[in-house]
Structure 1
Amino acid sequence: MKLKYWYKSVRIHTLPLSFSGVTLSFLISKSRGDVSFYTYFLCLITALLLQILANFSNNYGDFIKGVDNYYYSNKDPMIQHNTIIQSGFISLLEMRKAVKILSFLSFFSGILLILQSISINIKNIFIFLFFLIGILICIYSSIKYTVGKNPYGYIVGMGDLFVLIFFGLVSVMGSYFLYTHTFCMDILFLSFSVGFLNVSVLNINNMRDIENDCKNGKYTIAGVLGIKYAKQYHIFSVLISLFLGGYFIFLNYKGIFQWFCFVSIFPFFAKHIQKIIWISNPKDLNLELKKLILMTFFHSMSIGIGILY
């Protein structure tokens, strides 16, 4: 019976965010030369494990800090993923063990990925060590978002910054290097494009939880700005993402099909922004959160498929 509660703790609807960045960079790498599918597979598995680790750690850390509480659970029965421990469906000890297991699996998968992509020799030893340290930092950051004495997710702006780095730069540019062994400036723009959409996803989550977070000492950009300006911040991050995605296509233009793929999802973003502006009930942000996760995925695929074909 506990399986369904572990399933909820995974937050399956968020996993397309991990899929988006590493798959986009794979498609672009594929358009520029031969790329190992096995490297992509290990990238994807590692990214998914790290995100599940972060989701489990968030459940654990928010419960310890008191952010998950019955007031929050009863206020909106639609929000169930943060109440698993509070409701007693999964114990604190079980969640702690799960965090340790996911940490090990993420490290093991990351090591396999590095070994698959980078040959260990004198020439590549520093690159190998760089990515090894990078894997350890990713694992630490996945846990530290809400766990520990000074979790960065509780500090204004740090959550957004780390999401931009790990779901943007690391996910897209880091995986691109593992595929191609090269760094390209245009991939940097694309990394920020994907990263800012992930920041937007986090911002919706923070706008939804703004009241409860502030009551429990979790200070996010949304909490500091207030709902009015948090919405403006949200719109800016979405628009800058679309601009950077378009700029990447401009730099790598091959044919009209690229622009057709890219702009085909614009109506969905326009509808999303309109919804965000007019929403007044925080629980209504749940649906927009799930929609934006899917739009982030389709945004990435529209660019990747456009340049591949």
Structure 2
Amino acid sequence: MKIKYFIYASRVYTLPLSITGITSSYLLSSSSVIELYKNIDIYTFSILTSISLQILSNFSNDYGDSIKTFNNVNSYSPKKLVKCGKISLYNMKKSIYIFSILSFFFGIILIFKTVRENIFIFFLYTLGLLFCIYSSISYSIGKTPYGWKFGLGDLSVFIFFGLFSVLGNFFLLTHIFPTIDIFLLSFGIGFLSVSVLNVNNIRDLKDDIENGKITIPVKLGVKYSKFYHTIIVFIPIVICLLFLYIRNVNNTYQWIFSVLIIISLMYNIKNIIFIKRKNLLNLELKKLVLLTFLYGLNIGITNFL
């Protein structure tokens, strides 16, 4: 069993998405470096929980696709390592169990540290944690995996990477119901995370059709999937400007950085619309992951400028 295959199966390049919402809400929950330091343990366990869930989802995806006799007809799609024989079914299943336990372990410590005094909230967050673990696995595994059969991958990414990540973590840090600007941030990060999945699914369109996997691009086709991509990237651009307006941001450097991110996102829209060679979609996907992280970081530092 070679570690490098598990590192590949974890899809390390996607992991910044799992920490974007958490990092931005962590920064926005504090108004000073001292407050950041006080909450560093909560932030650490939030990161560990989120990364564990993301790796769990990626391992489950490889396992689920492989047992469904997933065949790669598009050479630009990531190979399924269980299907290729690089990782055995037994070892991948064992890894899924391990990361399920890790996700629960880190998550329950996080919940205990933050809301243990409130039994109702503690119970609610524990149910949410179990739901996240179940959803990470059932996206690709089971008789009716919702990422395969119902095309609900985009909705789940929006909920987990946007709403849960930003709003849920903000409440754990502050015990305050999120304000409208925090809701806007969760929508912006959520839609950008969905756009990453959409690029991935446009790239894998031939594979998914061949293997009977239902995604938004399978339903819409390439032309309308690119139009869909334009919308879900343009909305966060508007949200970024609206957030800066609501927060009355007048720092020149933050506005310059915001404009640079917006221009980069506009270029991504242009590239996705006009791209012809599918191998370039991998590059755009990785750029979009980085831009999503920078987008969240840029908004998150508002309190410190």
SS, match of residue 266 in structure 2: helix
Shift of 1:278: 1.0
Letter in 2 for 1:119: R
Q: What letter matches 2:92 in structure 1?
A: M
Pairs within 5 Å for 1:254-269: 254-257=249-252, 258-269=254-265
Post-superposition offset of 1:308 = 2.5
For 1:283, the equivalent position in structure 2 comes to 279
Of 161-170 and 266-275, the range deviating more from structure 2: 266-275
Shift of 1:172: 0.5
Q: Is the 8 A contact 2:261 2:294 kept in 1?
A: yes
Instruction: Say which SS state the counterpart of residue 243 (structure 2) adopts.
Output: helix
1:44 to partner: Cα distance: 0.7
- The residue that corresponds to 1:146 in the other structure is 140
- Counterpart CA distance in 1 for 2:25 and 2:162 is 11
Q: Is the 8 A contact 2:187 2:236 kept in 1?
A: yes
For the 8 Å contact 1:114–1:132, the answer to whether it is kept is: yes
1:252 is aligned to 247
Q: Is residue 167–residue 198 contact of structure 1 (8 Å, CA) maintained in 2?
A: yes
Question: Offset at 1:268?
Answer: 1.4
Deviating 4+ runs (over 4 angstroms) = none
Matches within 5 A, 1:103-252: 103-120=100-117, 124-184=118-178, 185-252=180-247
Alpha-carbon RMSD: 1.6
8 Å contact 2:63–2:93 — kept in the other structure?
yes
Alignment partner for residue 100 of structure 1, among 97, 101, 104?
97
- 8 Å contact kept, 2:67–2:83: no
Give the distance between the partners of 1:279 and 1:264, measured in 2 at CA.
22
Shift of 1:252: 1.2
Determine the C-alpha separation between the residues in 2 that align with 1:128 and 1:200.
32
- The amino acid of 2:238's aligned partner reads F
> Unaligned 5+ residue runs, structure 2?
none
List per-residue Cα deviations over 1:251-282 (Å, max 9, x = no partner).
Answer: 11232344233222122112211111111232
Residue 90 of structure 1, aligned match among 87, 90, 102: 87
TM-score (norm 2): 0.94
State the Cα distance separating 1:156 from its structure 2 match.
4.3
Q: Distance in 2 between matches of 1:302 and 1:155?
A: 37
The answer as to whether partners of 1:39 and 1:113 remain within 8 angstroms in 2 is: yes
- How far 1:198 moved relative to its partner? 0.4
The answer for the alignment partner of 2:47 in structure 1 is: 44
User: Secondary structure of the residue that 1:147 maps to in structure 2?
Assistant: coil
- Equivalent of residue 297 in structure 1, options 293, 296, 299: 293
- Residues 209-230 of structure 1: CA distance to partner in whole angstroms, max 9, x if unpaired? 1111012111111111100000
Find the aligned partners of 2:282 and 2:257 in 1 and give their Cα distance: 27
User: Is 1:34–2:35 an aligned residue pair?
Assistant: yes
Q: CA deviation at 1:157?
A: 4.1
Show the counterpart of 1:6. Answer: 6
Q: How far 1:41 sits from its partner (Å)?
A: 0.7
Deviations 1:140-169 (A, max 9, x none): 011111110111111444111110000000
| 2:276 counterpart SS class | coil
Give the Cα–Cα distance (whole angstroms) in 1 for the partners of residues 255 and 167 of structure 2.
Answer: 22
The structure 1 residue matched to 2:61, chosen from 58, 61, 74, is: 58
Counterpart residue identity of residue 247, structure 2: N
- Of all paired residues, the percent bearing the same amino acid is 47
SS of 1:30 mapped into structure 2: coil
Moved more, 258-267 or 7-16: 258-267
* 1:37–1:190 CA distance, 2 compared to 1 (3 A): same
Distance 1:206 1:307 in 2: 36
